[in-house]
Structure formats: C-alpha cells, structure tokens
C-alpha cells in the first residue's frame, strides 16, 4: 500500500497508527523537514517528497500528484491522508 501525506497532521496520524511504517510514503513539500526525510531514508523507508505543495483542496494538483504516484506504483492502492484515493 502506498501512503501520501499532504499535511503534517496526516503524517503524524499515520506515524502513530498501526500502519506505521508504510512500505512506501509520499509527502507534499513542507510536510517533513530535510533532516526528517534523511532520517526516514536512513532507516530504510522508501519516502518520496514532492517538489511542490499539494493541497487536498486543489483537485487538479491532487489529480496530478496521484497520477505521478500511480505511474511509479501501478496497481497499488493509494491512501491519501488516511482515506483510499478515488
């Protein structure tokens, strides 16, 4: 399963859940600091950070982000901020 966190709050909820650690994690720009990203990667997590902010309130940006994630992980379920992406 692929997890995509668009906010710090959704990331923190994921990190505190039984789903932690995820097999694959994508985050919007600014959700995690560079040191946090480096720490997760050093621990072996597959984490990708977008180079732009992806707002869940922007349908076009969300569609583009999900297309990118699905391009890299075809045939996988993508969870966005705790819900299955449509």
CA-to-CA separations, 6 to 77, 84, in angstroms, rounded: 16, 14
Composition of the chain by helix, strand, coil, percent to 5: 35, 20, 45
For the chain, how many structural domains are there in total? 1
Report the distance separating Cα 47 and Cα 33, nearest Å.
13
State yes or no: pLDDT of 85 exceeds 80: no
Is residue 57 very low, low, confident or very high in pLDDT (cuts 50, 70, 90)? very high
69 close to 4: Cβ distance less than 8 angstroms: yes
Q: Give the domain CATH number at 7.
A: 3.40.50
**pLDDT level of residue 84 (50, 70, 90 thresholds):** confident
pLDDT at 44 over 70: yes
Residue 50: which domain range?
A: 2-84
Q: What's residue 11's pLDDT? A: 97
Residue 86 has pLDDT above 80, yes or no: no
Does the predicted TM-score (pTM) go above 0.75? yes
């Amino acid at each position: 399963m692929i997890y995509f966190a668009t906010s710090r709050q959704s990331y923190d909820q994921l990190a505190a859940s039984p789903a932690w650690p995820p097999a694959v994690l994508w985050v919007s720009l600014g959700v995690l600091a560079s040191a946090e990203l480096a720490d997760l990667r050093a621990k072996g997590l597959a984490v990708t950070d977008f180079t732009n902010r992806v707002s869940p309130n922007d349908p076009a940006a969300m569609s583009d982000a999900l297309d990118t994630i699905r391009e890299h992980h075809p045939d996988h379920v993508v969870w966005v901020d705790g819900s299955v992406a449509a």
